[in-house]
Amino acid sequence: MIRFLDIQKVTASYDPELQEAVEAVVRSGRYLRGEQTAAFEAEFAAFCGARHCVAVGNGLDALTLILTAYKQIYAWDDGDEVIVPAFTFIATAEAVNRAGLRPVFCDISPVNFLLDTVLIEPLITSRTRAIMPVHLYGTPCAMEPLKDIAARYGLKLIEDAAQAHGAALSGKRTGNMADAAGFSFYPGKNLGALGDAGAVVTNDAELAARIRMLANYGAAEKYYHEMLGLNSRMDELQAAVLRVKLQRLDVDNGHRRTIAGRYCTLIRSKHITLPKEEAFRNSVWHIFPVLVQNRTAVQEFLRTAGVETLVHYPLPLHHQQAYAADYADKSYPVAERVAACELSLPISQVMTEEEAERVAEALNRYEPPMHSDNKNTAL
Ligand SMILES: *Cc1c(COP(=O)(O)O)cnc(C)c1O
């Protein structure tokens, strides 16, 4: 079976350094707010090309803390609005709610599945405070048009970089493309911990200082609480793991590019729509998304052929039960079509080219059932 992501193999591939790093932390007796976290913050900020990195508990907290801190600094009101894509992992929008703000969904582009820049301006109201694009599937969003809109309307621009560690555009890495960025190091991400972890990356010193306090019970100095905060810290163990894996991140992303390249060369099926080369050129391929008409049938066919696939994501945000009531009258046609047709092929830093070839061969053998429309009219 070719697994969607063989995470045991991923972890083993960093040994013996990973085991040694973990053992050193266990022996050190220091498990929070120690030298591993401080070193990771310095190294990840430098990697992104940004001035500050604040390590936190997970990706959702990173995004929530950015919004909460800006809300305090600029005195935004409860219910003020943040524009987010209608198609992303729910954390992007949920962070907005958790900060006491309101997510306003915007449809995505059918070409690169990212926030469709031309649809943003009509959504801006007197209460809009920020735009939060997502570098979905590992593809960095083009920031110039977004920066232009943000500047004209006085909005903050916040990257959800949870799927795009190390991706770059015009010489700038994610994390250094906007006012602030939230990263997740969930185990399956391109840079993944052995549990939950996240980070805020920014060049804004005031924002970083406030987030550092908020994430530690509102205290800069132990037991002196300047404000009410929460507990969202990165474990020393996770910081040590991430430091080992960060050293190989560019190489790992390069390997993902190789696998994606094999797929693009070898998959030759009229039933499969491949990601557009032009649109995905700068991707670090967190996900390799294809579009198919008969998704359940294709998934079942591949399963029988020994290939595990997943779907990212089966529902757009406005169709999630958690949001359905508030967005009942809204429709985002591209988000809906991608949610209906997307299929994620196996990809990782440890998948072999030979495995990618077997996936492609299996897909090329797929024929839809006789009665169904055998043209791919996905988009
Ligand atoms: C993974 C992810 C997050 C949240 O990360 P957690 O660490 O699981 O909280 C946020 N946004 C996107 C787009 C993600 O893929």
Which tens digits make up the pLDDT trace of 31-82?
999 999 999 999 999 999 999 999 999 999 999 999 999 999 999 999 999 9
Q: What was the pLDDT predicted at 65?
A: 98
Distance from C-alpha of 46 to C-alpha of 42, rounded to nearest angstrom: 6
Give 137's contacts (C-beta < 8 A, 6+ positions apart). Answer: 113, 163, 275, 280, 283, 285, 286, 287, 288, 289, 312
CA-closest residue to ligand 1 atom 10: 91
Q: Which amino acids bring their CB within 6 angstroms of ligand 1?
A: 58-60, 88-89, 91-92, 134, 160, 162-163, 184, 186, 196, 198
Q: What was the pLDDT predicted at 373?
A: 53
Distance from C-alpha of 214 to C-alpha of 235, rounded to nearest angstrom: 17
Which of the 8 DSSP states describes residue 129?
E
Q: What was the pLDDT predicted at 370?
A: 73
CA-closest residue to ligand 1 atom 2: 162
C-alpha separations of 147 from 38, 131, 143, 157, 317 in Å: 31, 10, 6, 7, 24
Distance from C-alpha of 19 to C-alpha of 62, rounded to nearest angstrom: 27
CA-closest residue to ligand 1 atom 14: 162
CA-closest residue to ligand 1 atom 4: 59
C-alpha separations of 245 from 12, 139, 256, 315, 354 in Å: 11, 21, 15, 32, 24
- Please report the atom of ligand 1 found closest to the CA of residue 198: 7
Give residue 346 CA to ligand 1 midpoint distance, Å: 19
Per-residue pLDDT of the chain (379 residues; tens, 9 = 90+): 999 999 999 999 999 999 999 999 999 999 999 999 999 999 999 999 999 999 999 999 999 999 999 999 999 999 999 999 999 999 999 999 999 999 999 999 999 999 999 999 999 999 999 999 999 999 999 999 999 999 999 999 999 999 999 999 999 999 999 999 999 999 999 999 999 999 999 999 999 999 999 999 999 999 999 999 999 999 999 999 999 999 999 999 999 999 999 999 999 999 999 999 999 999 999 999 999 999 999 999 999 999 999 999 999 999 999 999 999 899 999 999 999 999 999 999 999 999 999 999 999 999 998 765 545 554 5
Give residue 193 CA to ligand 1 midpoint distance, Å: 13
Ligand 1 probe mutation, 89, 135, 312, most atoms within 8 A of CB: 89
Would the pTM count as exceeding 0.95? yes
Distance from C-alpha of 110 to C-alpha of 87, rounded to nearest angstrom: 11
Give residue 250 CA to ligand 1 midpoint distance, Å: 20
Give residue 224 CA to ligand 1 midpoint distance, Å: 31
| Ranges of H-type helices in the chain | 7-12, 17-28, 35-48, 59-73, 91-98, 143-153, 205-214, 236-246, 249-266, 277-280, 295-304, 321-324, 333-341, 353-365
Helix (H, G, I), strand (E, B) or coil at 40: helix
Q: What was the pLDDT predicted at 271?
A: 96
